[in-house]
Protein backbone atom coordinates (compact mmCIF):
# COMPACT_ATOMS: atom_id res chain seq x y z
CA UNK A 1 0.00 0.00 0.00
CA UNK A 2 1.31 3.44 -0.95
CA UNK A 3 2.39 5.79 1.82
CA UNK A 4 -0.16 8.60 1.62
CA UNK A 5 2.17 11.00 3.43
CA UNK A 6 5.12 10.76 1.06
CA UNK A 7 4.91 12.55 -2.25
CA UNK A 8 6.40 10.85 -5.32
CA UNK A 9 9.12 13.48 -5.43
CA UNK A 10 9.99 12.83 -1.80
CA UNK A 11 9.06 16.40 -0.83
CA UNK A 12 7.87 15.32 2.58
CA UNK A 13 10.93 14.10 4.39
CA UNK A 14 12.72 14.40 7.67
CA UNK A 15 15.00 17.39 7.16
CA UNK A 16 18.03 17.66 9.39
CA UNK A 17 19.29 21.16 8.68
CA UNK A 18 19.18 24.35 10.75
CA UNK A 19 15.78 25.33 9.33
CA UNK A 20 14.18 22.19 10.71
CA UNK A 21 15.89 22.60 14.08
CA UNK A 22 14.57 26.14 14.30
CA UNK A 23 11.10 24.96 13.31
CA UNK A 24 11.02 22.21 15.92
CA UNK A 25 11.83 24.84 18.53
CA UNK A 26 8.85 26.90 17.35
CA UNK A 27 10.71 29.49 15.29
CA UNK A 28 10.25 30.17 11.61
CA UNK A 29 13.30 29.50 9.40
CA UNK A 30 13.32 33.11 8.26
CA UNK A 31 13.32 34.47 11.78
CA UNK A 32 10.49 35.33 14.16
CA UNK A 33 8.22 33.07 16.12
CA UNK A 34 5.67 30.78 14.55
CA UNK A 35 2.12 31.32 15.82
CA UNK A 36 -0.37 28.82 17.16
CA UNK A 37 -3.55 27.84 15.35
CA UNK A 38 -5.85 30.01 17.43
CA UNK A 39 -8.88 28.66 15.57
CA UNK A 40 -8.11 25.20 16.95
CA UNK A 41 -7.71 26.63 20.45
CA UNK A 42 -10.96 28.62 20.25
CA UNK A 43 -13.00 25.68 18.94
CA UNK A 44 -11.58 23.48 21.71
CA UNK A 45 -12.68 26.00 24.34
CA UNK A 46 -16.16 26.19 22.79
CA UNK A 47 -16.63 22.40 22.92
CA UNK A 48 -15.20 22.27 26.43
CA UNK A 49 -17.64 24.99 27.52
CA UNK A 50 -20.60 23.02 26.16
CA UNK A 51 -19.25 19.92 27.88
CA UNK A 52 -19.04 21.64 31.26
CA UNK A 53 -22.63 22.88 30.94
CA UNK A 54 -23.82 19.38 30.06
CA UNK A 55 -21.88 17.76 32.91
CA UNK A 56 -23.53 20.22 35.30
CA UNK A 57 -26.95 19.45 33.85
CA UNK A 58 -26.58 15.68 33.56
CA UNK A 59 -24.88 14.96 36.90
CA UNK A 60 -26.71 17.17 39.38
CA UNK A 61 -29.35 14.68 40.56
CA UNK A 62 -26.95 11.72 40.74
CA UNK A 63 -24.32 13.83 42.54
CA UNK A 64 -26.82 15.08 45.11
CA UNK A 65 -27.99 11.56 45.91
CA UNK A 66 -24.52 10.00 46.03
CA UNK A 67 -22.48 12.87 47.50
CA UNK A 68 -24.98 15.32 48.98
CA UNK A 69 -23.73 18.05 46.63
CA UNK A 70 -25.35 18.51 43.23
CA UNK A 71 -22.23 20.36 42.02
CA UNK A 72 -19.85 17.55 43.02
CA UNK A 73 -19.07 16.22 39.54
CA UNK A 74 -19.19 19.68 37.98
CA UNK A 75 -16.60 21.09 40.39
CA UNK A 76 -14.33 18.13 39.79
CA UNK A 77 -14.71 18.51 36.03
CA UNK A 78 -13.75 22.20 36.29
CA UNK A 79 -10.65 21.16 38.23
CA UNK A 80 -9.83 18.54 35.60
CA UNK A 81 -10.28 21.18 32.89
CA UNK A 82 -7.84 23.47 34.70
CA UNK A 83 -5.27 20.67 34.95
CA UNK A 84 -5.92 19.86 31.30
CA UNK A 85 -5.26 23.50 30.45
CA UNK A 86 -1.85 23.25 32.09
CA UNK A 87 -1.13 20.06 30.15
CA UNK A 88 -2.29 21.75 26.94
CA UNK A 89 0.06 24.70 27.25
CA UNK A 90 3.00 22.58 28.38
CA UNK A 91 2.53 20.38 25.31
CA UNK A 92 2.07 23.40 23.04
CA UNK A 93 5.29 25.04 24.23
CA UNK A 94 7.39 21.88 24.52
CA UNK A 95 10.44 21.86 22.21
CA UNK A 96 9.86 19.25 19.53
CA UNK A 97 13.21 17.57 20.24
CA UNK A 98 12.07 16.89 23.80
CA UNK A 99 8.85 15.32 22.57
CA UNK A 100 10.72 13.06 20.15
CA UNK A 101 12.89 11.67 22.94
CA UNK A 102 9.79 10.40 24.74
CA UNK A 103 8.55 7.67 22.40
CA UNK A 104 10.17 4.81 24.34
CA UNK A 105 10.00 6.27 27.89
CA UNK A 106 6.31 7.09 27.37
CA UNK A 107 5.65 3.60 26.02
CA UNK A 108 7.36 1.86 28.95
CA UNK A 109 5.69 4.15 31.49
CA UNK A 110 2.28 3.43 29.93
CA UNK A 111 3.04 -0.30 30.08
CA UNK A 112 3.94 0.03 33.76
CA UNK A 113 0.66 1.81 34.51
CA UNK A 114 -1.37 -0.88 32.74
CA UNK A 115 0.48 -3.59 34.70
CA UNK A 116 -0.35 -1.77 37.94
CA UNK A 117 -4.07 -1.96 37.09
CA UNK A 118 -3.75 -5.74 36.93
CA UNK A 119 -2.08 -5.92 40.35
CA UNK A 120 -3.75 -6.06 43.78
CA UNK A 121 -2.98 -2.33 44.13
CA UNK A 122 -5.77 -1.43 41.72
CA UNK A 123 -9.44 -1.49 42.79
CA UNK A 124 -12.02 -3.58 40.97
CA UNK A 125 -14.99 -1.45 39.88
CA UNK A 126 -17.99 -3.16 38.29
CA UNK A 127 -15.88 -6.26 37.73
CA UNK A 128 -13.09 -4.44 35.85
CA UNK A 129 -9.65 -3.25 36.95
CA UNK A 130 -9.03 -0.21 34.75
CA UNK A 131 -8.14 2.48 37.28
CA UNK A 132 -5.33 3.39 39.67
CA UNK A 133 -6.51 5.04 42.87
CA UNK A 134 -4.48 8.06 44.03
CA UNK A 135 -6.21 9.49 47.06
CA UNK A 136 -9.48 11.18 46.04
CA UNK A 137 -8.90 10.67 42.31
CA UNK A 138 -8.54 7.71 39.98
CA UNK A 139 -6.31 7.52 36.90
CA UNK A 140 -7.30 5.49 33.86
CA UNK A 141 -3.99 4.58 32.20
CA UNK A 142 -5.66 3.69 28.89
CA UNK A 143 -6.15 7.37 28.07
CA UNK A 144 -2.38 7.91 28.13
CA UNK A 145 -1.57 4.58 26.49
CA UNK A 146 -3.25 5.90 23.33
CA UNK A 147 -0.89 8.89 23.18
CA UNK A 148 2.20 6.80 23.94
CA UNK A 149 1.25 4.30 21.22
CA UNK A 150 0.63 7.08 18.69
CA UNK A 151 4.06 8.62 19.41
CA UNK A 152 5.75 5.24 19.00
CA UNK A 153 3.92 4.34 15.78
CA UNK A 154 4.67 7.77 14.31
CA UNK A 155 8.34 7.28 15.12
CA UNK A 156 8.34 3.79 13.61
CA UNK A 157 6.44 4.70 10.44
CA UNK A 158 8.59 7.74 9.72
CA UNK A 159 12.03 6.31 10.47
CA UNK A 160 11.55 2.78 9.07
CA UNK A 161 10.22 3.69 5.63
CA UNK A 162 12.77 1.44 3.95
CA UNK A 163 11.55 -1.52 6.01
CA UNK A 164 7.83 -0.79 6.29
CA UNK A 165 6.88 -3.18 3.48
CA UNK A 166 8.80 -6.09 4.95
CA UNK A 167 7.04 -8.47 7.32
CA UNK A 168 9.73 -9.32 9.85
CA UNK A 169 11.02 -5.77 10.48
CA UNK A 170 8.22 -3.56 9.17
CA UNK A 171 5.11 -5.32 10.44
CA UNK A 172 5.95 -7.48 13.44
CA UNK A 173 7.37 -4.74 15.77
CA UNK A 174 4.37 -2.32 15.70
CA UNK A 175 1.87 -5.18 15.69
CA UNK A 176 3.65 -6.87 18.60
CA UNK A 177 3.70 -3.68 20.70
CA UNK A 178 0.05 -2.92 20.00
CA UNK A 179 -0.91 -6.57 20.54
CA UNK A 180 0.79 -6.59 23.95
CA UNK A 181 -1.23 -3.59 25.13
CA UNK A 182 -4.44 -5.05 23.68
CA UNK A 183 -3.81 -8.33 25.51
CA UNK A 184 -3.26 -6.53 28.83
CA UNK A 185 -6.40 -4.45 28.32
CA UNK A 186 -8.43 -7.58 27.64
CA UNK A 187 -7.23 -8.94 31.00
CA UNK A 188 -8.77 -5.94 32.83
CA UNK A 189 -11.18 -6.60 30.94
CA UNK A 190 -11.56 -3.61 28.61
CA UNK A 191 -12.62 -4.82 25.18
CA UNK A 192 -13.52 -1.33 23.92
CA UNK A 193 -10.09 0.13 24.67
CA UNK A 194 -8.41 -2.77 22.90
CA UNK A 195 -10.53 -1.95 19.83
CA UNK A 196 -9.39 1.68 20.03
CA UNK A 197 -5.70 0.71 20.08
CA UNK A 198 -6.23 -1.69 17.17
CA UNK A 199 -7.93 1.16 15.29
CA UNK A 200 -4.99 3.49 15.87
CA UNK A 201 -2.61 0.84 14.54
CA UNK A 202 -4.83 0.24 11.50
CA UNK A 203 -4.98 3.90 10.46
CA UNK A 204 -1.27 4.43 11.09
CA UNK A 205 -0.47 1.41 8.93
CA UNK A 206 -2.73 2.68 6.15
CA UNK A 207 -1.05 6.09 6.26
CA UNK A 208 2.43 4.59 6.63
CA UNK A 209 2.32 2.39 3.55
CA UNK A 210 2.09 -1.09 5.07
CA UNK A 211 1.32 -3.68 2.41
CA UNK A 212 -2.41 -4.18 1.88
CA UNK A 213 -2.13 -7.97 2.22
CA UNK A 214 -0.67 -7.61 5.73
CA UNK A 215 -3.41 -5.18 6.76
CA UNK A 216 -6.13 -7.38 5.29
CA UNK A 217 -5.03 -10.54 7.12
CA UNK A 218 -4.46 -8.67 10.38
CA UNK A 219 -7.97 -7.16 10.22
CA UNK A 220 -9.46 -10.57 9.43
CA UNK A 221 -7.55 -12.13 12.34
CA UNK A 222 -8.61 -9.33 14.71
CA UNK A 223 -12.27 -9.67 13.71
CA UNK A 224 -12.11 -13.42 14.19
CA UNK A 225 -10.52 -12.98 17.60
CA UNK A 226 -13.14 -10.42 18.59
CA UNK A 227 -15.95 -12.77 17.64
CA UNK A 228 -14.30 -15.59 19.57
CA UNK A 229 -14.00 -13.38 22.66
CA UNK A 230 -17.62 -12.30 22.33
CA UNK A 231 -18.81 -15.91 22.11
CA UNK A 232 -16.51 -17.12 24.91
CA UNK A 233 -17.78 -14.60 27.48
CA UNK A 234 -21.56 -14.73 28.08
CA UNK A 235 -21.80 -11.06 29.12
CA UNK A 236 -20.09 -9.91 25.90
CA UNK A 237 -22.42 -12.07 23.81
CA UNK A 238 -25.45 -10.65 25.64
CA UNK A 239 -24.26 -7.09 25.02
CA UNK A 240 -23.73 -7.86 21.34
CA UNK A 241 -27.20 -9.35 20.97
CA UNK A 242 -28.70 -6.44 22.92
CA UNK A 243 -27.05 -4.02 20.49
CA UNK A 244 -28.64 -5.82 17.53
CA UNK A 245 -32.13 -5.58 19.08
CA UNK A 246 -32.11 -3.62 22.37
CA UNK A 247 -35.91 -3.49 22.66
CA UNK A 248 -36.11 -7.28 22.81
CA UNK A 249 -34.63 -7.12 26.32
CA UNK A 250 -35.35 -3.50 27.16
CA UNK A 251 -35.32 -4.03 30.93
CA UNK A 252 -32.02 -5.90 31.14
CA UNK A 253 -29.17 -6.08 28.61
CA UNK A 254 -30.70 -3.55 26.24
CA UNK A 255 -31.73 -1.12 28.98
CA UNK A 256 -28.97 1.48 28.57
CA UNK A 257 -29.25 1.71 24.80
CA UNK A 258 -33.06 1.89 24.95
CA UNK A 259 -32.86 4.78 27.42
CA UNK A 260 -30.31 6.52 25.20
CA UNK A 261 -32.57 6.21 22.17
CA UNK A 262 -35.54 7.46 24.19
CA UNK A 263 -33.52 10.50 25.25
CA UNK A 264 -32.51 11.25 21.66
CA UNK A 265 -36.09 10.83 20.41
CA UNK A 266 -37.52 12.99 23.19
CA UNK A 267 -35.35 15.92 22.19
CA UNK A 268 -37.07 16.37 18.82
CA UNK A 269 -35.89 19.48 16.95
CA UNK A 270 -35.22 22.10 19.64
CA UNK A 271 -35.00 19.91 22.75
CA UNK A 272 -36.82 20.07 26.07
CA UNK A 273 -34.50 22.77 27.43
CA UNK A 274 -31.19 22.76 29.28
CA UNK A 275 -31.60 21.09 32.66
CA UNK A 276 -35.02 19.63 31.81
CA UNK A 277 -33.91 16.13 30.78
CA UNK A 278 -36.03 13.33 32.21
CA UNK A 279 -33.73 10.46 31.25
CA UNK A 280 -30.94 11.73 33.51
CA UNK A 281 -33.22 11.16 36.52
CA UNK A 282 -31.80 7.68 37.20
CA UNK A 283 -33.18 6.24 33.94
CA UNK A 284 -30.06 6.57 31.77
CA UNK A 285 -26.91 5.06 33.36
CA UNK A 286 -23.69 7.04 32.87
CA UNK A 287 -25.70 10.07 31.77
CA UNK A 288 -22.88 12.49 32.59
CA UNK A 289 -20.17 10.18 31.27
CA UNK A 290 -20.27 7.98 28.16
CA UNK A 291 -23.88 8.88 27.31
CA UNK A 292 -23.69 12.63 27.77
CA UNK A 293 -24.51 13.15 24.09
CA UNK A 294 -27.89 11.48 24.65
CA UNK A 295 -28.69 14.04 27.36
CA UNK A 296 -27.51 16.84 25.07
CA UNK A 297 -29.81 15.53 22.32
CA UNK A 298 -32.75 15.46 24.73
CA UNK A 299 -32.15 18.93 26.14
CA UNK A 300 -30.95 20.77 23.02
CA UNK A 301 -32.55 18.66 20.32
CA UNK A 302 -31.43 18.23 16.74
CA UNK A 303 -30.28 21.86 16.59
CA UNK A 304 -27.97 21.50 19.59
CA UNK A 305 -26.48 18.23 18.38
CA UNK A 306 -25.90 19.75 14.94
CA UNK A 307 -24.06 22.72 16.44
CA UNK A 308 -21.83 20.45 18.53
CA UNK A 309 -21.12 18.19 15.56
CA UNK A 310 -20.28 21.26 13.47
CA UNK A 311 -17.78 22.32 16.15
CA UNK A 312 -16.18 18.88 16.08
CA UNK A 313 -16.08 18.97 12.27
CA UNK A 314 -14.28 22.34 12.41
CA UNK A 315 -11.90 20.97 15.04
CA UNK A 316 -11.00 18.00 12.84
CA UNK A 317 -10.67 20.26 9.80
CA UNK A 318 -8.10 22.38 11.63
CA UNK A 319 -6.31 19.16 12.65
CA UNK A 320 -6.25 18.03 9.02
CA UNK A 321 -4.72 21.32 7.89
CA UNK A 322 -2.08 21.06 10.59
CA UNK A 323 -1.22 17.52 9.45
CA UNK A 324 -0.91 18.48 5.80
CA UNK A 325 1.07 21.61 6.65
CA UNK A 326 3.98 19.64 8.15
CA UNK A 327 7.15 19.34 6.08
CA UNK A 328 8.94 16.70 8.17
CA UNK A 329 7.60 13.17 7.84
CA UNK A 330 7.75 12.42 11.55
CA UNK A 331 5.89 15.64 12.35
CA UNK A 332 3.16 14.67 9.91
CA UNK A 333 2.80 11.12 11.24
CA UNK A 334 2.72 12.30 14.85
CA UNK A 335 0.06 14.92 14.16
CA UNK A 336 -1.93 12.29 12.25
CA UNK A 337 -1.73 9.80 15.13
CA UNK A 338 -2.86 12.38 17.69
CA UNK A 339 -5.75 13.45 15.44
CA UNK A 340 -6.76 9.80 15.01
CA UNK A 341 -7.18 9.51 18.78
CA UNK A 342 -9.57 12.47 18.84
CA UNK A 343 -11.56 11.39 15.78
CA UNK A 344 -11.94 7.79 16.94
CA UNK A 345 -13.12 8.91 20.37
CA UNK A 346 -15.83 11.16 18.96
CA UNK A 347 -17.00 8.75 16.26
CA UNK A 348 -17.09 5.68 18.49
CA UNK A 349 -18.93 7.52 21.28
CA UNK A 350 -21.60 8.76 18.88
CA UNK A 351 -21.92 5.32 17.34
CA UNK A 352 -22.57 3.77 20.75
CA UNK A 353 -25.02 6.48 21.88
CA UNK A 354 -27.05 6.15 18.66
CA UNK A 355 -27.00 2.36 18.70
CA UNK A 356 -24.80 1.99 15.63
CA UNK A 357 -22.11 0.09 17.56
CA UNK A 358 -22.13 -2.09 20.71
CA UNK A 359 -21.46 -0.28 24.01
CA UNK A 360 -17.70 0.10 24.45
CA UNK A 361 -17.27 2.61 27.26
CA UNK A 362 -15.63 5.26 25.06
CA UNK A 363 -16.15 8.82 26.40
CA UNK A 364 -16.87 11.83 24.20
CA UNK A 365 -13.70 13.98 23.97
CA UNK A 366 -13.91 17.30 25.86
CA UNK A 367 -17.49 16.62 26.96
CA UNK A 368 -17.84 13.43 29.02
CA UNK A 369 -17.10 13.56 32.73
CA UNK A 370 -13.73 12.11 33.68
CA UNK A 371 -10.34 13.51 34.56
CA UNK A 372 -8.08 11.10 32.70
CA UNK A 373 -9.91 11.46 29.40
CA UNK A 374 -10.23 15.24 29.64
CA UNK A 375 -6.58 15.81 30.54
CA UNK A 376 -5.39 13.38 27.87
CA UNK A 377 -7.63 15.02 25.25
CA UNK A 378 -6.36 18.50 26.10
CA UNK A 379 -2.82 17.14 25.99
CA UNK A 380 -3.55 15.96 22.44
CA UNK A 381 -4.86 19.41 21.50
CA UNK A 382 -1.72 20.95 23.00
CA UNK A 383 0.47 18.71 20.86
CA UNK A 384 -1.50 19.71 17.76
CA UNK A 385 -1.07 23.38 18.71
CA UNK A 386 2.66 22.65 18.94
CA UNK A 387 2.63 21.25 15.41
CA UNK A 388 0.57 24.18 14.15
CA UNK A 389 3.65 26.37 14.76
CA UNK A 390 5.55 24.47 12.08
CA UNK A 391 2.69 24.12 9.63
CA UNK A 392 2.78 26.07 6.39
CA UNK A 393 1.77 29.71 6.39
CA UNK A 394 -1.37 28.78 4.43
CA UNK A 395 -2.55 26.73 7.41
CA UNK A 396 -2.20 29.50 9.96
CA UNK A 397 -3.72 32.18 7.73
CA UNK A 398 -6.83 30.24 6.70
* Residue-wise pLDDT tens digits, 132-147: 888 778 889 999 999 9
Q: Is residue 7 part of a domain?
A: no
Q: Is residue 18 part of a domain?
A: no
Calculate mean pLDDT across residues 197-202: 93
Q: Is residue 316 part of a domain?
A: yes
Q: CA 150, CA 153: separation in Å to the nearest integer?
A: 5
Q: Is residue 195 part of a domain?
A: yes
Q: CA 258, CA 238: separation in Å to the nearest integer?
A: 15
In tens, the pLDDT along 118-130 reads: 888 777 777 778 8
Q: Is residue 64 part of a domain?
A: yes
Q: Which structural domain range is residue 306 located in?
A: 34-397
Q: Is residue 19 part of a domain?
A: no
Band of the pLDDT at 332, cuts 50, 70, 90? Answer: very high
Q: CA 332, CA 165: separation in Å to the nearest integer?
A: 19
- CB atoms near residue 90 (< 10 Å): 12
Band of the pLDDT at 1, cuts 50, 70, 90? Answer: low
Q: Is residue 24 part of a domain?
A: no
Count: domains in the chain: 1
Long-range contacts, stretch 98-104, CB < 8 angstroms, 24+ apart = 99/151, 99/334, 99/383, 99/386, 100/155, 100/330, 102/151, 103/148, 103/151, 103/152, 103/154, 103/155, 104/152
Q: Is residue 246 part of a domain?
A: yes
Query: What is the model's pTM?
Result: 0.88
The per-residue pLDDT for 86 is: 96
How far from 7 is each of 125, 215, 257, 395, CA to CA, in Å?
A: 49, 22, 45, 19
Amino acid sequence: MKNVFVKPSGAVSAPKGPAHKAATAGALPGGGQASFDWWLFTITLAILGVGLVMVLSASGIVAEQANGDKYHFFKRQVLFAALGGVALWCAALMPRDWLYRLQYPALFFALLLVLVTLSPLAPSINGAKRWIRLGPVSIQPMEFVKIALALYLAYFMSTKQQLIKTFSRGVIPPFAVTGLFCFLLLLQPDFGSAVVLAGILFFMCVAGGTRFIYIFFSVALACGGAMALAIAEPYRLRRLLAFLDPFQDAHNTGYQLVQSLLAIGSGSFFGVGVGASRQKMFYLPEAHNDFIMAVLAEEMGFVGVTIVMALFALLFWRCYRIIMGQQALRDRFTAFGITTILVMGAVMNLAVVMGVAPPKGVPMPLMSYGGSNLIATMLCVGLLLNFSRTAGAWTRSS
